[in-house]
């Protein structure tokens, strides 16, 4: 077993929280907080095949910081998802490998990928932390991380190292998505 052979469908989260583009940032932040997740996928009218965008905790922090400078936090939280969501949504096929997900995340400078089936329907989401958990729980996956992978994907490798140290010091305390 290696990071080139394990499909993302084996380690993805299947319960993806979604919202519609006309929902407020405040409502989306509440979904994230209530579910201890770091992103919400924005869909077209509750249709998981019609992905419109994604909002991450970073997006919300960015607009909150901008609002703090302008003293308009309450009006900022009334913005709609469509106003700040990242689009287009970058996805990955359910049969793609962990290696493919790492490459895709590095190429696009992102940490989350909605997972789609062959028809384009969203079936899950994979995060860098999902991959980290899978890697550290399997000796064969740890062994499959060659020196070339560590060098080529250095930022991801460094986050993996930080994640491992965090898990050793505070097991299970990492935010899941």
Query: What is the pLDDT at residue 29?
Result: 92
pTM of the model: 0.78
Q: What are phi and psi of 112, to 5 degrees?
A: -140, 140
Q: What are phi and psi of 174, to 5 degrees?
A: -70, 145
* Rounded CA separation 156/79 (Å): 32
pLDDT along the chain (177 residues), means of 10: 88 94 92 95 73 92 77 69 92 94 91 93 93 80 63 68 70 52
Query: What is the pLDDT at residue 3?
Result: 83
Query: What is the pLDDT at residue 150?
Result: 59
Query: What is the pLDDT at residue 77?
Result: 64
| Structural domains of the chain ordered from first start | 8-169 (3.10.580.10)
């Amino acid at each position: 077993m290696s990071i080139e052979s394990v499909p993302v469908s084996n380690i993805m989260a299947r319960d993806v929280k979604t919202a519609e583009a006309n929902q407020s940032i405040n409502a989306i932040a509440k979904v994230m907080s209530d579910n201890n997740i770091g992103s919400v996928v924005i869909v077209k009218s509750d249709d998981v095949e019609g992905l419109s965008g994604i909002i991450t905790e970073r997006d919300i922090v960015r607009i909150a910081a901008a609002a703090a400078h302008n003293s308009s936090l309450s009006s900022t939280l009334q913005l709609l998802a469509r106003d700040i969501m990242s689009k287009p949504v970058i996805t990955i096929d359910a049969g793609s490998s962990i290696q493919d997900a790492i490459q895709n995340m590095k190429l696009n400078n992102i940490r989350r990928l909605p997972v789609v089936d062959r028809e384009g329907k969203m079936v899950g989401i994979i995060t860098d932390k999902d991959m980290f958990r899978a890697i550290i729980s399997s000796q064969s996956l740890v062994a499959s991380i060659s020196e070339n992978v560590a060098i080529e994907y250095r930022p991801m490798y460094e986050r993996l190292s930080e994640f491992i140290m965090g898990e050793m010091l505070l097991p299970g305390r990492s935010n899941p998505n």
